[in-house]
Structure 1
Amino acid sequence: MNRALPYATPLVPAFVVIGFFVWFANWIPQTRWEPPKVQAISAALTPTELAEVGRTIVRQRGCLACHTIEPDAGVKGGGRGPNLAGVAARRAQGVKGGPGNLVDYLAQALYEPGAYLVEGYADIMPPSMAAPASLGYEEAVAVIAYLQSLGKTPTVKVGDVPRPAAGARSAQPAGVATSDPAAMFAALACNGCHSLKTGETLVGPALDAAGIKQAAAERGMGPEAFLMESIVDPKAYERKGFPSGVMPQDYGTRMNAMQLAALVRHLAAQGGQR
């Protein structure tokens, strides 16, 4: 005599429910996810499209490590560089004694950032063609279009902006003409991003004794070896919580071996004492 298993009956509703959801899932039109396509920068882009590309570049190339975009904050936001919000309105007529319109002013600010300094700010920004931004011409135009949009309607297109001077991209920054380590620290604008005061964070980590010792231990190096690597190859080890790719990559070529050694000894000895 066949007898039904005592646990079979309760399973029937479960199979019905599962079957319904399987049918329903297959009934829904299936879509395939694909990563967003990278938009090429060309003369065909409208100013608005170009500005959107520029917005991405500004966020990806380290610009916001020093600049902020704070509406209604005026030129002095909370960053190491001027607030970018409203720059189009503030510099609509360019600057006195310099470029007489917004586009030329923004181009100069990218190509020759030291040519005009906003009052209260140091000359610490590298040219946009150099590290860390390393912008090509079309990328620089996209950034200009985005900066135009921060206060006005963007109008610029590829071809409307003058190109940087011939050879500007490949030109090496000037070397350091001093062997005094404290002067080198200032001449290389290290103090624009790093503080020697314990716990004082600017753009990069403070170069205080405790911080250097901890980072060196994490890297498995002595403090002086760690500092040397950080100067000549800053991407070899980047500390968490700080913007990536911001520190220039050419310091190893701007100082000779004796200058490098002197700066490393100075930082190892002075960290945390100022």
Structure 2
Amino acid sequence: MRSSAILRVFVFMLVVLAAYLWVGQAITAMTGGERKAASVVEVTPEGGEAIFWGKGRCFTCHSLGGEGSAVRCPNLGQFGEKFPLAIGARAEQRAKERSDETGTHYSSTDYLVESLARPDAYLVEGYKNEMAIVYAPPISLNLTEIKAVIAYLQSQGGDLDLEGIENPGELAQTYYARIAAASAAGGGDPGNGEEMFVDTCSDCHTIQGEGGEVGPDLSSIGNKGLKFISESILRPARKITKGYETWVVVTESDERKHVGLKTEETSTEVEITKATGEVATIARDDIREIEQDEGASVMPDDLTEMLTVKDFQDVLAYLMMQKGEDGAEAETGK
């Protein structure tokens, strides 16, 4: 008798579980939930559709007309009085408005790329900036996937411009470079990386004319590649750039030890610039000992302890973007 009761309870639980699964699948199908994306994405509306409703998780914030149930972010379809145009036509309209205002050509591709790469660029009245950075974790779309999403969005009421997506203007190209750098760095956010660089690195390093001069200019460091940049941060003493070697000077008068870069040298004086930016000018006749420390770097070797894993990825993404205006290579600083 007892065994029979337990069996009935077990069967009842299985029925309830099956019902929950069926209802969940039905809701997903009715609301345009997650769809399986192809393993290789092509830059087509179909490829973008798979990303939108799949890996990109766009449907968690956006609906598309009557498809989907998300309301956190603007509906991207034609929906009621608030959204009389679908996103493709909407992008064309806003691009034209901006072109008229600025006198500079601005395409729907520019508008969509900027909206995806920089979610706070255009905030619809009544909505907060809650959109995720789609090229950063946890979504981490690569450039091809983002191009496919743009194609899909353009196809919603607008004119599909695959040529414009593949070969856009200067504005979109700037954001493409940011997205590509993020992908190369494992999905970092260059925007946050720039903030971290300013807070942590700019006292010593310069990018595009801004920053300190203790370490080398990093305006073209992206040409060195991800591995070089990563190792230079993780093991700053492994490869010292010429001209940025660490020197140790011990004075005769007070036996003080000065450690830093030998930034100037004359017949009477030696100038040592320390990692803090402090400059010590030492008379030659007061030098007891001067030598290069080949196993040391003025760059801190504990930066990874100061940065979270995410911050480190973000800084890498930002540095990968630094290719220089003339494409010339720049050495990393230690």
TM-score range, shorter chain: 0.3 to 0.5
- TM-score when scaled to structure 2? 0.35
Instruction: Name whichever structure is richer in strand by fraction.
Output: 2
- TM-score when scaled to structure 1? 0.42
